[in-house]
């Protein structure tokens, strides 16, 4: 597609949280910095060792420069000494300088190697923490934001310069500060007035740097928000490729991505132009002006005889060694401020407190027998808008129970509460007599078998996808679970069998995917089965086969299912009918038909629709 084909309109821009360059923000910057600086603590021994190498290497480099004055004035230009003596001193001084140079460079290289190691360890640690935290957050939080946002923050924000700020920029700042101290001391011994001039020059340089870097921060914030939005569009376009193709929106989708990418490049260009104007413009002009003043100053005093040739070379070199590190220190501090943009974005996620977490005194859930009790349960996603009200039911071990009702009646919310994806707003849910809030989540969820409406299959083999339910399952356990789920024959019919790579499940039929989900649940031998619309995406023939499988494998297990189609729950031991968040009927299929209530009306409507569909065929 040509760029000219892109519609001339203002692209959508993902803004996110607004930028706030105020004093409160300035205070938060350093608070953010110290929060990330703590990630160096586990590696404190290597950090201290790196600092020792800095303390050894930097002074040797600066003293080596100072020795040049003696080398020029007292050796090379000292005609009062015999030539052979001067040559002897020349080799001695050069030997000493070479030794100091070697020690200084070995120290620097060793410090960098330590820095790379720390960088690797901190990167792994921080990314793992961020990814783990995402999984602890509530469904409400994760679903209220684009997936592209979570992807971008866990990759580009966590990795793109943020770790370097901790592991590289901070040691560099210490190195530069140490160098400034040593160079300033040595230079002040030779020419204190020049030292004062350079020190005073740092004030306007700092002020201008802060001014321009604050604006760079603002542009960087917008640039990363737009890059995050671009990642969201890319992810959505690929994940929804069937929808895009089905609606004939491939060209529109490409245009949307291209226009958003162009908008992203506009932010990037704006950032680069401002960056160049800052460094190659204003700050460069100021730096060059000071350097010319130093040339005039040193040249004047050398010509008047107040400085020797050796002192001239040393003073000017030290002056540059003093001025340059001061500029780098100021720019480095401002660069850290830029990296804090990413740090704040990461903290926007890390600072979200998980709504569902283990209590400090939570106990391990013992082996389940399967009793589930809703005791005066009320639930709200949004305060003041009840989804469930005054639910009181008890599901006995081995009982197969179904929740049915109109859309929005709260039946799926019942499953979410059993899985403890949410906590009830009022009342409590007890499993085997234990309040779910008082037990460890993993010890409970690891005993459940869950089959969702659309089974998600990961990239990998059939065996790996089934074993996802129980990572310690043997090959025999995996194959037995496939047999119980009526999947074994279909798998072994393929030449690669259980080693077949299924590519996120796109090569399987809907019925095979659901059976894969059942096998994944069965491989952990669960005491409780949870099924959420497990057959809603299947045709009637596949649905019948999958439901036969479900009824067979759920024998003797506490089974809780949600379904819109009443045909699939006829065999349930008890059916609860929900309407507007309340249980209005319960009983067996035959009992509910005889009651002529809501269940009977839904049944008649579905039977009529089924009859009409058959007639149309």
pLDDT digits (tens, 9 = 90+) for 355-402: 888 888 889 999 999 899 999 999 998 888 999 999 999 999 999 999
β-pair partners for 530: 450, 560
Asked whether the beta carbons of 319 and 294 are under 8 A apart, the reply is yes
**Dihedral sign (CA 58, 59, 62, 65):** negative
Between the two ends of the chain, the Cα-to-Cα distance in Å is 43
Q: Is 473 helix (H, G, I), strand (E, B) or coil?
A: coil
- Please tell me which residue, 288 or 351, carries the higher pLDDT value: 351
Per-residue pLDDT of 508-518, as tens digits, reads 777 888 888 88
Q: Which of 40-44, 239-243, 388-392, 531-535 has the highest mean pLDDT?
A: 388-392
Per-residue pLDDT of 558-598, as tens digits, reads 999 998 888 889 889 999 999 999 999 999 999 999 999 99
What residue ranges define each of the domains in the chain, with the CATH number in brackets? Answer: 31-350 (1.20.1560.10), 363-447+530-541+556-617 (3.40.50.300), 451-525 (3.40.50.300)
Q: Is the pLDDT of residue 506 over 60?
A: no
Q: Residue 17: which pLDDT band, with cuts at 50, 70 and 90?
A: very low
The mean pLDDT of 148-169, rounded to a whole number, is 71
Looking at residue 313, its pLDDT comes to 64
Asked whether the beta carbons of 19 and 221 are under 8 A apart, the reply is yes
- Please tell me which residue, 520 or 310, carries the higher pLDDT value: 520
- Please tell me which residue, 82 or 492, carries the higher pLDDT value: 492
CB atoms within 10 A of CB 179: 23
**Quick one: tokens of 254?**
């490409």
DSSP state letter for 113? H
Looking at residue 457, its pLDDT comes to 82
Looking at residue 364, its pLDDT comes to 92
Looking at residue 474, its pLDDT comes to 92
Q: Residue 317: which pLDDT band, with cuts at 50, 70 and 90?
A: low
Looking at residue 505, its pLDDT comes to 54
Looking at residue 607, its pLDDT comes to 84
Asked whether the beta carbons of 546 and 577 are under 8 A apart, the reply is no
Helix axis angle, 510-522 to 475-484, nearest 10°: 130
Looking at residue 572, its pLDDT comes to 92
CA distance 112 to 172: 10
Looking at residue 379, its pLDDT comes to 94
Q: What is the residue whose two structure tokens read 């700042």?
A: 173
CA distance 546 to 551: 9
Q: Residue 12: which pLDDT band, with cuts at 50, 70 and 90?
A: very low
Asked whether the beta carbons of 547 and 556 are under 8 A apart, the reply is no
Q: Is the pLDDT of residue 347 over 90?
A: no
β-pair partners for 559: 400, 529
**Quick one: tokens of 501?**
């790579």
The mean pLDDT of 224-252, rounded to a whole number, is 75
Tell me the pLDDT of the chain averaged across its residues: 79
Q: Residue 353: which pLDDT band, with cuts at 50, 70 and 90?
A: confident
Paired sense of beta strands 385-395 and 528-532, if any: unpaired
Asked whether the beta carbons of 523 and 473 are under 8 A apart, the reply is yes
Asked whether the beta carbons of 131 and 153 are under 8 A apart, the reply is no
Asked whether the beta carbons of 548 and 378 are under 8 A apart, the reply is no
Name the nearest CA neighbour of 257 among 238, 276, 243.
Answer: 238
Percentage of the chain lying above the pLDDT 70 cut: 82
Q: Residue 5: which pLDDT band, with cuts at 50, 70 and 90?
A: very low
CA distance 320 to 436: 68
CA distance 589 to 574: 8
Rounded to two decimals, the pTM is: 0.67
Rg value, the chain, Cα: 35
Looking at residue 383, its pLDDT comes to 85
Q: Residue 181: which pLDDT band, with cuts at 50, 70 and 90?
A: confident
- Please tell me which residue, 169 or 308, carries the higher pLDDT value: 169
Q: Residue 4: which pLDDT band, with cuts at 50, 70 and 90?
A: very low
The mean pLDDT of 193-214, rounded to a whole number, is 75
CA distance 393 to 373: 6
Looking at residue 31, its pLDDT comes to 77
Looking at residue 7, its pLDDT comes to 37
CA distance 427 to 179: 65
- Please tell me which residue, 495 or 342, carries the higher pLDDT value: 495
List of residues 6+ apart from 108 with CB closer than 8 A? 53, 57
- Please tell me which residue, 4 or 23, carries the higher pLDDT value: 23
Per-residue pLDDT of 443-490, as tens digits, reads 999 899 888 877 888 878 899 889 988 888 999 999 999 888 888 888
Looking at residue 28, its pLDDT comes to 67
- Spell out where 233-384 has E strands: 372-382
The mean pLDDT of 550-563, rounded to a whole number, is 88
CA distance 500 to 260: 38
Per-residue pLDDT of 75-123, as tens digits, reads 777 777 787 887 888 888 788 888 888 888 888 888 888 878 887 888 8
Q: Is 63 helix (H, G, I), strand (E, B) or coil?
A: helix
Q: How many CA atoms lie within 13 A of 122 on its CB side?
A: 27
In this structure, of 2-11, 54-63, 529-538, 565-574, the range with the lowest mean pLDDT score is 2-11
The mean pLDDT of 66-72, rounded to a whole number, is 70
Asked whether the beta carbons of 416 and 355 are under 8 A apart, the reply is no
Looking at residue 564, its pLDDT comes to 85
The distance from CA 320 to its chain's CA centroid, rounded to whole angstroms, is 42
CA distance 315 to 190: 7
What element of type H or E holds 358? none
Q: What is the residue whose two structure tokens read 């929740």?
A: 403
Q: What is the residue whose two structure tokens read 């709260």?
A: 410
Q: Residue 14: which pLDDT band, with cuts at 50, 70 and 90?
A: very low
Looking at residue 145, its pLDDT comes to 74
- Please tell me which residue, 536 or 354, carries the higher pLDDT value: 354
- Please tell me which residue, 398 or 65, carries the higher pLDDT value: 398
Q: Is the pLDDT of residue 132 over 80?
A: yes
Q: Which of 176-190, 200-214, 231-245, 258-272 has the highest mean pLDDT?
A: 258-272
Asked whether the beta carbons of 411 and 403 are under 8 A apart, the reply is yes
């Amino acid at each position: 597609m040509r760029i000219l084909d892109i519609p001339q309109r203002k692209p959508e821009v993902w803004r996110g949280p607004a930028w706030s360059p105020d004093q409160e923000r300035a205070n938060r910057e350093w608070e953010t910095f110290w929060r990330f600086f703590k990630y160096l603590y586990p590696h404190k021994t290597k950090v201290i060792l790196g600092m020792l190498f800095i303390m050894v290497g930097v002074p040797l480099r600066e003293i080596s420069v100072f020795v040049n004055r003696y080398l020029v004035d007292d050796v090379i230009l000292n005609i009062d000494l015999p030539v052979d003596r001067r040559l002897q001193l020349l080799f001695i001084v050069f030997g000493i300088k070479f030794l100091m140079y070697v020690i200084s460079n070995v120290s620097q290289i060793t410090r960098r190697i330590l820095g790379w190691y720390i960088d690797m360890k901190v990167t792994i640690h921080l990314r793992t923490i961020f990814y783990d935290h995402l999984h602890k957050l509530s469904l409400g939080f994760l679903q209220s934001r684009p997936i592209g946002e979570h992807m971008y923050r866990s990759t580009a924000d966590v990795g793109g310069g943020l770790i370097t700020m901790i592991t590289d920029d901070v040691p560099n700042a210490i190195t530069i500060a140490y160098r400034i101290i040593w160079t300033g001391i040595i230079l002040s011994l030779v020419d204190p007035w020049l030292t004062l001039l350079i020190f005073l020059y740092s004030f306007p340089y700092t002020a201008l740097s802060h001014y321009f870097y604050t604006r760079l921060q603002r542009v960087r914030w917008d640039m990363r928000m737009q890059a995050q939005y671009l990642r969201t569009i890319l992810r959505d376009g690929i994940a929804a490729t069937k929808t895009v193709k089905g609606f004939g929106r491939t060209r529109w989708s490409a245009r949307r991505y291209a226009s958003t990418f162009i908008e992203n490049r506009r932010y990037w260009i704006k950032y680069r132009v401002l960056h160049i104007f800052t460094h190659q413009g204003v700050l460069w002009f100021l730096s060059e002006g000071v350097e010319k003043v130093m040339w005039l100053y040193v040249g004047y005093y050398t010509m008047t005889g107040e400085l020797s040739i050796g002192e001239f070379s040393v003073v000017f070199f030290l002056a540059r060694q003093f001025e340059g590190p001061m500029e780098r220190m100021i720019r480095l501090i401002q660069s850290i401020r830029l990296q804090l943009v990413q740090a704040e974005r990461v903290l926007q996620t890390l600072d979200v407190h998980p709504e569902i977490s283990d209590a400090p005194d939570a106990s391990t859930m013992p082996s389940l027998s399967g009793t589930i009790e809703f005791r005066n349960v009320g639930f709200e996603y949004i305060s003041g808008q009840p989804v469930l009200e005054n639910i009181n039911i008890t599901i006995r071990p081995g009982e197969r129970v179904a929740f049915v009702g109109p859309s929005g009646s709260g039946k799926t919310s019942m499953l979410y509460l059993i899985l403890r994806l949410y906590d009830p707003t009022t009342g409590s849910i007890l499993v085997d007599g234990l309040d779910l809030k008082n037990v460890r989540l993993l010890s409970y969820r690891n005993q459940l078998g869950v089959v969702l409406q659309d089974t998600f299959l990961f990239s990998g083999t059939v065996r790996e996808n089934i074993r996802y339910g129980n990572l310690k399952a043997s090959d025999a356990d995996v194959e037995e679970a496939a047999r119980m789920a009526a999947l074994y024959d279909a798998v072994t019919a393929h030449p690669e069998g259980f080693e077949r790579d299924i590519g996120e499940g796109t090569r399987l039929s809907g019925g095979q995917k659901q059976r894969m989900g059942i096998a994944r649940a069965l491989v952990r031998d669960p005491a409780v089965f949870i099924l959420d619309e497990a057959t809603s995406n299947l045709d009637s023939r596949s649905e019948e086969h999958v439901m036969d499988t479900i009824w067979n494998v759920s024998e003797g297990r506490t089974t809780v299912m949600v379904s819109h189609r009443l045909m699939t729950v006829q065999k349930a031991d008890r059916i609860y009918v929900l309407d507007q968040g309340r249980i209005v009927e319960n009983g067996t299929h035959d009992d509910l038909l005889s009651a002529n209530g809501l269940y009977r009306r839904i049944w008649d409507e579905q039977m009529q629709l089924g009859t009409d569909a058959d007639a149309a065929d």
